[in-house]
Chains A and B, each alone.
Chain A
Amino acid sequence: MSKPLVFEKPLGMRDTLPHLYEIKSISRTAMETIVRQWGYRFMQTPTVEYYDTVGEASATLDQQLFKLLDQEGKTLVLRPDMTAPIARVAASSLKDEPLPMRIAYAAHVFRAQEQEGGRPAEFEQFGVELIGDGTTSADAEVIALMIETLKAVGLNNFQVAVGHLGYVDALFKEILGTDQRTETLKRFLYEKNYVGYRQHVKELPLSSIDQKRLLDFLQLRGGTAGLEQAEELITSTRAYEALEELQTLRDGLAAYGVSDLVSLDLTLVSHMTYYTGVVFEGYAPELGSPISNGGRYDTLLSKFDMDTKATGFGIHLDHLIEAVHPREEKTFTHCIVYSEKQRKDAIAFCQKLRGQGETAVLQDIKGIENLDGFTEKFSNVTYYLGKEEGVSK
């Protein structure tokens, strides 16, 4: 291994240059405004957490965690998501707050790249958590808010797929009988291996009707999939309950006026154990990865000794910006170039401009090597040189 060269950064780490910073900042502000209007309050948590608490509870794969040791030899992680840290806070410092609690965040999270570059290992996530509300209205609120937040940044062409892990679990359980068999089959879905799923189903000692139910399940996605088809496959109360929730959710989303962007996708299994009910992902057509995702995680809080339900979403800000290409609004910047003798007037003029809310750069001419090159990027330049009064370019 060679020593890093001065310009190099660790794999997956990226700089945010001024231009992009500006764009991000504008987008973030637009999203914050919406989320605040919906009554969510922003908070921050530390960048570093304990591996045994937050690291363990997070939905991120172990090999994607950045780990380090503290002086006592305890393992720490760079936070891989914000949901687990917020759950920790909700269950400790905020545990006496009345529920439901509405929390929002905009923070950098860290996920190590396993093999290669091409994806950031540190990225900004923007999201909300609605803690202490187990109703389907909460799921609808979170999805509707996510849609409104994405629109606020100027994203109009996108889709949200909604699934329900309660349905998947109940369907598999009623056909397969044991948790272990359910998990084995669910893993094929999670790994997106439909060929393996079909092979596995065909090898199971099941009646041809049950096999067909499991194979038909894979069709419950895309534009045409409806709750009616989903209902044909099930018999258990748990599965019906899940479908009823989806029905209520659909009505809720219709009331918010966002139904046209949402489609049903019961094959969506974004994590093996983390999510417990409604799950969803947002997609922009030109992007290879989801721009946002979320769902109900009713067992996470109990890992922090708080017995309550919760749901939330996270938006991948970089993906969002890639999908929207928002333009940087040209800010009018005034430049005042002065020589020592006129410094006092120059500063006074500059302060006047800034007082009026303008952006103004103050520059001693002696500090400039290439005057044309320097002044080129400003909208307006005023010179305070020699003995004369300031002259505008």
Chain B
Amino acid sequence: MTSTKLTIAMPKGRIFEEAVQMLREADYALPPEFEDSRKLIIDIEEEDLRFILAKPMDVPTYVEHGVADVGIAGKDVMLEEKRNVYEVLDLGISRCHLAVAGLPGTELDSVAPKIASKYPNVASSYFRSQGRQVEIIKLNGSIELAPMIGLADRIVDIVSTGRTLKENGLVETEKIMEITSRFIVNPVSYRVKANRIDEMVNRLEKVIEGKEVVR
């Protein structure tokens, strides 16, 4: 018989605590020490769940290859990675937005506008949709540095409070889109483990609806 254990790929870092909180609200009994563990794989036998802790950008990869049945990933990551997975629920957590930012009072270079980003695909398709051709420089972090020291004219990054931009003297010039975390599912698991996944989706949906009423 098929094992019913569900493997969930969780993003480490910023989204993690909110995601854990949400699962608890959906009545999944996760132990109190869950957040403090440094383990990469955590089995919760009582719930028949296995959690794997991954870099946020890698969550859709684990789910696409089927080593995780479901996962929690930001829409920013979904847009960047374009993985073959089901995007089933908008969890409404880790709200932020994707934006273009730069030094105040500066224009894009007219010959070869340069954009630095952790999201080269998102940045490229955004500027294309605006009818502008730009050159993308891929960076892995501290993107704000790029315009400050003359590596790029603009950056494309996620903005939550805007504090990092402000402290580094940058301003948002264009808003690309709102970002929230999504519940994603492997296409085979979505059918083979339909019962367990549907149950999780229903329980999470109730939590989301509850939050929307409050807001």
Chain A interface residues (CB < 8 Å from chain B)? 118, 157, 159, 161, 192-196, 199, 221-223, 263, 265, 281, 283-285, 287-290
Contacts and interface: CB of A to CB of B under 8 A. Distances in A.
B195 A222 contact: yes
Nearest to A119: B65
B192 A285 contact: yes
B188 A289 contact: yes
A285 B2 contact: yes
A161 B190 CA distance: 11
Contacts of B86: 192, 194
B90, B191, B192, B194 interface centre (most CB from chain A within 10 Å): B191
Interface in B154-200: 182, 186-195, 198
Contacts, number: 58
A359 B65 CA distance: 41
B198 A222 contact: yes
A118 B58 CA distance: 14
B64 interface: yes
B167 to A, nearest CB: 33
A262 to B, nearest CB: 12
Contacts of A281: 191
B29 interface: no
Contact of A287 (B1, B188, B190): B188
A195, A222, A281 interface centre (most CB from chain B within 10 Å): A195
A290 B65 contact: no
A290 B189 CA distance: 10
B192 A283 contact: yes
Given A157-B2, A223-B195, A285-B2, A194 B188 contact: no
Contacts of B190: 221
Contacts of B88: 194-195
A203 B191 CA distance: 28
B89 A195 contact: yes
Contact of A221 (B87, B186, B194): B194
Interface residues of B, number: 26
Given A118-B65, A192-B85, A221-B190, 20 more contacts: A159-B192, A192-B84, A192-B86, A192-B87, A192-B187, A194-B88, A195-B87, A221-B191, A221-B194, A222-B195, A263-B191, A283-B188, A283-B192, A284-B188, A285-B2, A287-B66, A288-B186, A288-B188, A289-B187, A290-B187
B67 interface: yes
A222 B186 contact: no
A159 B188 CA distance: 10
28 contacts: A157-B1, A157-B2, A159-B192, A192-B187, A193-B87, A194-B87, A194-B89, A195-B90, A195-B182, A196-B87, A221-B190, A222-B194, A222-B195, A222-B198, A285-B3, A285-B188, A285-B192, A285-B193, A287-B66, A287-B188, A288-B64, A288-B65, A288-B189, A289-B66, A289-B187, A289-B188, A290-B187, A290-B188
A192 B195 CA distance: 19
Nearest to B90: A195
B82 to A, nearest CB: 9
A148 B84 CA distance: 28
Contacts of A192: 84-87, 187
Contacts of A195: 87-90, 182
Nearest to A161: B191
A265 B87 contact: no
Contacts of B198: 222
B84 A283 contact: no
A115 to B, nearest CB: 9
A344 to B, nearest CB: 58
Contacts of A263: 191
A305 to B, nearest CB: 34
A267 to B, nearest CB: 9
A222 B191 contact: yes
A287 B69 CA distance: 10
A283 B87 contact: no
Contacts of B192: 159, 283, 285
